[in-house]
Structure 1
Amino acid sequence: MNTERFNSLSLDELWILHQQVTASLTQKMLVQKAQLEERLHKIGLADATTRFDRKRRPYPPVRPKYRNPKNPAETWSGRGRLPRWLRPQLRGGRKLDDFLIDQASLQKRQTN
């Protein structure tokens, strides 16, 4: 089909054509998928496709580095997204080092 024919079709006719093309593509893709799975079965690699379902490597727990001074139960390890309690504090001009849990030992190191 040429583009002039598409331009002459109404919106409803174009939509019907779209649905027919989508249905035809879906059917052909399903047939091709079945053929490929059958080939995998024949060569004995059908079960090898599940090897990608590996579990993630377990990571050791990370100790918290930062603590909310207003609520000491809220801590953050320094990984991932900034916690909600920390964003406004940083926007207000405070430094991340102000919230370190080992702040006392950090100050001792800086004075020595």
Structure 2
Amino acid sequence: MKLGELERMSVDDLWKLHLAVGEALAVKMAAEKDVLEGRLKRLKAKPTLERRIAKSERRGYPPVFPKYRNPDDPSETWAGRGRQPRWLAEQLRSGKKVDDFRIEMAAE
């Protein structure tokens, strides 16, 4: 409809047109909402393979090499992550420093 046609219409006719447009919009919006809700249900109900793999597998991290070694038992090492091992905590209480147990890296 063109602007000239709307200007020639009476107020009652314009109001009827307004109500008809409102009803048509409500019907179309309800139909679009139903389509979108159906798509959302499908997405929630059946996750894709990538999502299932991403949730079930842990992220791969590079290996962390030990940085500290127990001088009394060289097989006991610590990478500096997580809780301090008991042997290191005991040595620190006796007055030694963490750097005293650092493993020397080989020169490349």
TM-score, scaled to structure 1:
0.49
Quote the Cα distance in structure 1 between the aligned partners of 2:57 and 2:70. Answer: 34
* Matched residue type, 1:80: G
SS in 1 for 2:73: coil
- Determine which structure has more spread, i.e. the larger CA radius of gyration: 2
Alignment of 1:86-97 (within 5 A): 86-97=88-99
Which residue in the other structure is 1:48 paired with? 47
**Total equivalences in the alignment:** 66
Unaligned runs of 5+ in 1: 1-38, 106-112
Moved over 6 A (4+): 39-42
Aligned-residue offset at 1:42: 8.0
Alignment of 1:1-112 (within 5 A): 43-45=41-43, 46-48=45-47, 51=52, 53-102=55-104
Quote the Cα distance in structure 1 between the aligned partners of 2:55 and 2:42. Answer: 18
C-alpha distance 84-41 of structure 1, shift in aligned 2 (>3 A):
farther
C-alpha distance 57-40 of structure 1, shift in aligned 2 (>3 A):
farther
TM-score, scaled to structure 2:
0.50
Unaligned runs of 5+ in 2: 1-36
Which residue in the other structure is 2:25 paired with? none
RMSD: 2.9
